Amino acid sequence: MTIVLPHGVLFRGGEEGKIRKQLIEQNHIHAVIGLPANIFFGTGIPTIILVLRQKRTNTNVLIVDASKHFLKVGKNNKLQASDIKRIADTVIYRESTAKYSRVVSKATIRENDYSLNIPRYVDASIDAESWDLHATMLGGIPEKEINQLDNYWQAFPALRETLFKQTSSDYSQLKISTNALKHSITQHPQVKAFSQDFLSAFNGFDDYLKSELIAPFIDSEGQQGQSIKININIGQQEAILSQELFTRLDPIALIDKYQAHQLLDNSWQIIAPDLEMLQSEGFAASKQVDPHMVNKKVKGKDTEVQDGWVGHILPFDVVQNTYLKGALHALKQKENRLTEISAEFEAILESLTEEEKEADTIKESNDGFINAAVIKAAKQLRAEIKTNGDFEAESYATKILKVDALILEEKKLKKSVKTDAEALHLQTKATIEALSDEQVHELLERKWISPLLGELGKLPDDLINQLTRKVQHLADKYATTYGDIAKEIHNTEKELGGLIDELEGNAFDRQALAEFQSFLQGE
């Protein structure tokens, strides 16, 4: 049995204390789980989950502090799928993990007068950064602070020797320049082997995902189509995939398997609804498009109207990037040119003098051109060219003519972009409706599997970048000593004193400057 209670029941005395003592002595408390504050509507107080069992073979209590694992959503905190799985796995396997969980004996709880206050047993607080006085004054990096990265050094023992040179029993210095730090870490043989081991662990994972998620849409005889009965247990499938994910990550040091599980769950929020539609509506649903309904003001009233089409299952952008690359690329080039034109407008505007910005062609806010005025002015300027010849290259007239040309190009491009976008939209609709079963399988792979593999593939690089930042922070932290600062101050004061000697003024000014020099010299 599990119950959610306020945190105070874990340590308050009185009747609550008597009940707690009885439950502990009778071995009914299986686990105590501390939750983040602000996760329940209407209350911001921290809460706990008490897991009770009537018959237990052990007498200890698992205490979990999950209060630091959550996602901030507005004013509230939310447990993510990875947070929930971390809690569940810890309770199932009764794991003791630093700063997260601990299995506490009944004897220890008795020594604490039957208090189950979580901080007594699990310290989940974030360690405050400390500064080493000796290193601050004399330089060097404290060995104790390098040792705080021990989980990395266990995975990359030779990397530590590459980066640091021990100067005494308690201090080291960086062997390389900070500019070369990232390269030295990423190109270290043990780090490169770590990345390769990760790739090897996930070799064939794409095929596994396809066999679990896409292969069921093909029957044993290879016949495909809407008549196929799809047999995927959607309620259990994520757990099956997660177990496979964890199995592949088991031999890989440092990677947080629960972070990987969260990436899987993020993808599953897209995959699961699609599977439900395919199972309930049939495979033909993958080739269906639906009206895209939006709310718009029609005669002053909010009205739901159709604004194009949307794939019932397959997103238009995935289809376009797979089968309509040419048309999509041509459209993107035109859109990019529109962006370039906007930048050119800004550059020309910035090049104008303040006097030129007073012209009728410039908005009063000085943040843009007045198109109609520019077109009119350009017409007059072209007439002048016929009479007097071209204007100077950097003249105001030349710039206005350039703006006029850009306005015309922009107008044509916008019309073309709109036409091409509408054509591509309808072409995408027709493409989805005419897809073969094999093409649907490819598109489902691109929608479901490719994004997940891409996110998982970033995990090694993210971890290596994290290590690089930590080492960089250590190097920067003690790079400048107090002696360096004192020397810089002394040199600055000396330089300032010399400049004062060159100053001139009346008797009162000279008296004040002499007093200031005495102050700088410490007299």
CATH number for the region 2-120 comes to 3.40.50.150
The edge-to-edge listing of strands for the beta sheet with 141-142 is 141-142, 171-174, 164-166
Q: Using the 8-state DSSP alphabet, how is residue 52 labeled? A: E
Among 70-79, 112-121, 257-266, 485-494, which is the least confidently predicted range?
Answer: 485-494
H or E segment and range at residue 289: strand 289-298
Burial of 378 (0-12, 13-18, 19+ CB in 10 A): buried
Backbone angles phi, psi at 38, to 5 degrees: 60, 35
The residue that leads in pLDDT, 391 or 256, is 256
Return the percentage of the chain with pLDDT > 70, whole number: 90
Q: What is the pTM of this model?
A: 0.86
Select from 27, 9, 5, 7 the least CA-distant residue to 18.
Answer: 9
- 92-102 residue pLDDT tens: 999 999 999 99
- 306-327 residue pLDDT tens: 999 999 999 999 999 999 999 9
- Distance (Å, whole) CA 446 – CA 493: 65
CA angle 355, 359, 360 (to 5 degrees): 165
- 7-16 residue pLDDT tens: 889 999 898 8
Number of residues assigned to the chain: 523
Residues in Cβ contact with 509 at an 8 Å cutoff, skipping those fewer than 6 apart: 503
Whether 222 shows a pLDDT value over 60: the answer reads: no
Alpha-helix residue ranges (DSSP H) falling in 352-477: 371-388, 396-433, 437-444, 450-457, 459-477
pLDDT for the residue 174 = 93
- Distance (Å, whole) CA 120 – CA 114: 11
Q: 312 and 290 in contact (C-beta within 8 Å)?
A: yes
pLDDT for the residue 226 = 45
Whether 345 shows a pLDDT value over 90: the answer reads: yes
pLDDT for the residue 500 = 66
Select from 313, 255, 309 the least CA-distant residue to 284.
Answer: 313
pLDDT for the residue 265 = 97
- Distance (Å, whole) CA 372 – CA 256: 60
- Distance (Å, whole) CA 287 – CA 311: 8
CA angle 209, 435, 327 (to 5 degrees): 100
Domain-wise residue ranges, the chain: 2-120, 127-289+445-479, 325-434, 484-520
- 132-188 residue pLDDT tens: 888 888 889 999 999 999 999 999 999 999 999 999 999 999 999 989 999 999 999
Partners of 218 in the beta sheet? Answer: 224
Partners of 301 in the beta sheet? Answer: 298
